[in-house]
Structure 1
Amino acid sequence: MEQIISFFEAQDPVMAALIATIFTWLVTGLGASLVFLFKDMNRKLFDGMLGFTGGVMVAASFWSLLAPGIEMSEGEGFIKVIPAFVGFSLGALFIFGLDKVLPHLHINFKENRKEGVKTKWHKSVLLTLAITLHNIPEGLAVGVLFGGAAAGLEGASIGGAVALALGIGLQNFPEGFSVAMPLRGLGLSRWKSFHYGHLSAIVEPFAAVLGAWAVLSFEPILPYALCFAAGAMIFVVIEEVVPESQLERNTDIATLGFIGGFLVMMTLDVGLG
């Protein structure tokens, strides 16, 4: 692991963010490739994977984003929490706005529950866009951490950025599978299902490069940017991930998956960060 961290320390921060999120994208593709091996998806397994995804995202939001964002903020008392308050609020509102505008359909929801502007796009496209929506803050978070670490700002480290990329990669594996299998169930070929599954995470490298560049260009925004990513991720978990994991009443499995994901991400962040 030390060699991996050393490798990223030797890279330009924007390039490091790009490489890290290409990894998370490839892991999504690896998960989507399971569509070639299985005919259908066990619903209990799916809900457990969704819970795991939610746990990773919540843990990452606190350990990798909110806590460092507050730590590096200036001032004392209520003044110190202002960047976190503002950034978190703007991040949640950003995804809220995209959710209202971008046409999408959450996995396992019926077509009459489409969200965003009305469109005649095929259900497969809408399902892919639903996952793409919550990959934006994930990529942004990785890029912001790499940018902050390169700038030498307290609370941001290459180890923490690597830990976040690993955690997101872990939850992207079941995510790719959870996109590809429902698309296969709609009648798409295995290749098309795989194609849409891996494309759902292609936005992560773009968001990461943007995040790293923004922090390097405007260092004072780092606390706001970290908390912005946290707010966006928490909104996704509460609005999408948790409700979907509860649809079939596999609440115990989904909850245990959530706890497992949280523990894994917390361990990675504390151990490497």
Structure 2
Amino acid sequence: MWEAFVELNPVMQALLATCFTWGLTGAGAAVVFLTKNVSKLTLDVMLGFAAGVMIAASYWSLLAPAIEMSEHLGFWSFVPAAIGFVGGAIFLRVVDMFLPHLHLNTPTSEAEGIPTNWKRSTLLVVAITLHNIPEGLAVGVAFGAVAAGMDSATLAGAMALALGIGIQNFPEGTAVSVPLRREGMSRSKAFLYGQASGMVEPIAGVIGAAAVLYAQPILPYALAFAAGAMIFVSVEEVIPESQSSGNGDWATMGVIMGFTVMMSLDVALG
């Protein structure tokens, strides 16, 4: 099976890898079939863990390879990574300003983006979907980098990134479906909303892989772009949400655990 995967087109590899990460979002959302009373402490630690994975992946799997790929620029080798990183953050900020969405643990009256009549459940799903766009893009770009023949990009490293993103998608799925169930939504509907937030990852993954495969000079920019978007999401949304209910110390330990897991995966497998 591994040999068959290795021989696939990198776009197909990215599609399969991001379908895996989407599947773990669904697995996390399926917790709602077991209980609707996951403690707030547990959810905060899980969100912290997700943020830690995203932060570690941003450096180990994205920024560091982007800088290494630009070593031929000498003193200016940091420039592509810097431009891409800032660009990714600005892109997410612009989307954040205009796309209607609602952060977890906030009333509907505090929805961000342009005014809308969307339901609370839809706004929550859109917020988590924003998290998943850079994650899917990161996985796709990683597989595209392998196909481009970059020395710093390996198939094992791309797989490690997909595994890490998938692991942190589990708590994100739970963080959507369980609160919706607690608010009175049926188990099946809460599950559908929870897993739907990960549906964008295969789309973003295919776009990322195809972009760098057919426009290789943009690769370091694309890697850093995904990193900037992920850091923006972590700092602007995920970490504040994990700290909003008085469980700050535990949520911070979740960040440390997530960072350690992703760092270990990348170093061991990459």
Calculate the TM-score normalised by the size of structure 1. Answer: 0.97
Matched, 1:222 2:219: yes
Q: Secondary structure at the match of 2:139?
A: helix
Partner residue, 1:75: 73
Matched residue type, 1:164: L
Partner residue, 1:40: 37
Q: Distance in 2 between matches of 1:27 and 1:111?
A: 27
Contact preservation (8 Å) 1:55, 1:261: yes
Contact preservation (8 Å) 1:8, 1:158: no
Give the one of 5, 10, 14 matched to 1:8: 5
Partner residue, 1:270: 267
Identity %: 59
Give the one of 202, 210, 213 matched to 1:205: 202
1:65-114 CA-partner distances (Å, limit 9, x unpaired)? 0000000013112x111101100011000100110111000111112211
Partner residue, 1:91: 88
Report the Cα offset of residue 61 of structure 1: 0.1
Matched residue type, 1:70: I
Report the Cα offset of residue 251 of structure 1: 1.1
Query: Which consecutive unaligned segments of at least 5 residues does structure 1 have?
Result: none
Partner residue, 1:21: 18
Q: Distance in 1 between matches of 2:60 and 2:100?
A: 32
What aligned pairs does 1:99-178 form with structure 2 within 5 A after superposition? 99-178=96-175
Q: Distance in 1 between matches of 2:106 and 2:82?
A: 33
Q: Distance in 2 between matches of 1:173 and 1:7?
A: 27
Q: Secondary structure at the match of 1:52?
A: helix
Report the Cα offset of residue 7 of structure 1: 4.5
Partner residue, 2:52: 55
Report the more deviating stretch, 150-159 or 237-246.
150-159
Q: Secondary structure at the match of 1:188?
A: coil
1:37-59 CA-partner distances (Å, limit 9, x unpaired)? 10222011011001100000000
Partner residue, 1:236: 233
Report the more deviating stretch, 106-115 or 233-242.
106-115
Report the Cα offset of residue 211 of structure 1: 0.3
Partner residue, 1:186: 183
Matched residue type, 1:30: A
Contact preservation (8 Å) 2:129, 2:200: yes
1:200-249 CA-partner distances (Å, limit 9, x unpaired)? 00000000000000001100000000000000000000000110011112
Partner residue, 1:245: 242
Question: How many equivalent residue pairs?
Answer: 269
Contact preservation (8 Å) 2:36, 2:179: no
Query: Which consecutive unaligned segments of at least 5 residues does structure 2 have?
Result: none
Q: Distance in 2 between matches of 1:176 and 1:115?
A: 21
Matched residue type, 1:113: E
Q: Which runs of 4+ in 1 moved over 4 A?
A: none
Matched residue type, 1:172: N
Q: Distance in 2 between matches of 1:106 and 1:182?
A: 12
